[in-house]
Amino acid sequence: MQKRNATVAVIGAGDYIGAEIARKFASEGFAVFAGRRNGEKLAPLIEEVQAAGGTIFGRSLDARKEEEIAAFLADADRHAPLEVCIFNVGANVNFPILETTDRVFRKVWEMACWAGFLAGREAARLMLPRGGGNIFFTGATASLRGGSGFAAFASAKFGLRAVAQAMARELGPKNIHVAHLIIDSGVDTEWVRQRRLEALGPDALDNPDLLMPPSAVADSYWQLYRQPKSAWTFEMEIRPFGEKW
């Protein structure tokens, strides 16, 4: 593996998608800065990446706090130029409108939209003086469609998409590639598997084509990163071939 003089920051480096993004960019020679709420849970990932010869740093990070985000990204940028920032915090909930409490609505927004705004802005602050960079946001079906029961989640995801669009239009001409990756599928995680079994019964997992492996998301981010500036994609929707849409 050839090391690069560049870091990628993964905000929301959970066990599935976030971890795969970290693995992928580490395997391509990036120094990875991985942040998640409880940083101790990053230990196995760090061990694995380092064993493979990669460079990775784990941090506890409350992405809703401006100072924490700013410090996390500044750290990354001190290590080597921050070339990619990926915001990957989710907060999927479903409640009938009358049972959507103030607390839930506000918390989901803080995690999925507000934190993304902070991350994007602070990454831009570091990238603009250098004249380049990549800022990517993870979206979902709910980024485009407010389904019944999704007032809180869709509202946050719509809001995040607007942040991404506004940043893309302002920063694109300044050579910062802002993109929004929409995952139109359940991702193959333990949590999703349990929900499917509960909702659809014991056959729910028989069709392997309906869940997206986290590595496919990481590969899509790699694709976006590799696009030449003469042909940037702002938004890319991905789904498994068996998914209805």
Of 140-169, which residues contact its own copies (CB under 8 A)? Answer: 142, 145-151, 154-167, 169
Task: Give the Cβ contact number of residue 242 at 10 Å.
Answer: 11
Among 7, 55, 88, 100, binds its own copies (CB under 8 A): 100
From 8-16, 37-45, 172-180, 193-201, give the range in contact with its own copies by CB under 8 A.
172-180
Q: Which residues contact 172 (CB under 8 A, 6 or more apart)?
A: 178, 232
Task: Check if the beta carbon of residue 14 is closer than 8 Å to that of residue 214.
Answer: no
Site for its own copies in 24-53 (CB under 8 A): none
Radius of gyration of the chain (CA): 18
Q: Please choose, from the candidates 53, 152, 36, 127, the residue with its C-alpha nearest in 3D space to the C-alpha of residue 88.
A: 36
For residues 26 and 49, give the distance between their C-alpha atoms in angstroms, rounded to a whole number.
7
Task: Check if the beta carbon of residue 117 is closer than 8 Å to that of residue 163.
Answer: yes
Among 114, 136, 137, 225, binds its own copies (CB under 8 A): 114
**Which SS3 state, helix, strand or coil, does residue 47 take?**
helix
Task: Check if the beta carbon of residue 81 is closer than 8 Å to that of residue 7.
Answer: yes
- With respect to its own copies, which residue has the nearer C-beta, 89 or 113? 113
For residues 144 and 133, give the distance between their C-alpha atoms in angstroms, rounded to a whole number.
26
Q: Counting contacts by CB under 8 A, is residue 223 touching its own copies?
A: yes
CB of 173 to its own copies, least distance (A): 5
Q: Please choose, from the candidates 136, 135, 122, the residue with its C-alpha nearest in 3D space to the C-alpha of residue 65.
A: 122
Among 125, 130, 194, 197, binds its own copies (CB under 8 A): 125
Q: Counting contacts by CB under 8 A, is residue 237 touching its own copies?
A: yes
Q: Counting contacts by CB under 8 A, is residue 98 touching its own copies?
A: yes
From 13-21, 73-81, 106-114, 193-201, give the range in contact with its own copies by CB under 8 A.
106-114
User: Which CA distances in Å does 188 have to 15, 84, 118, 168?
Assistant: 11, 25, 28, 29
Token code pair at residue 90: 């989710």
From 23-31, 71-79, 100-108, 190-198, give the range in contact with its own copies by CB under 8 A.
100-108
- With respect to its own copies, which residue has the nearer C-beta, 39 or 68? 68
Site for its own copies in 58-97 (CB under 8 A): 66, 96-97
For residues 10 and 58, give the distance between their C-alpha atoms in angstroms, rounded to a whole number.
10
Among 1, 5, 78, 242, binds its own copies (CB under 8 A): 242
- With respect to its own copies, which residue has the nearer C-beta, 199 or 231? 231
Site for its own copies in 201-220 (CB under 8 A): 209, 212-213, 216-217, 219-220
- With respect to its own copies, which residue has the nearer C-beta, 29 or 213? 213
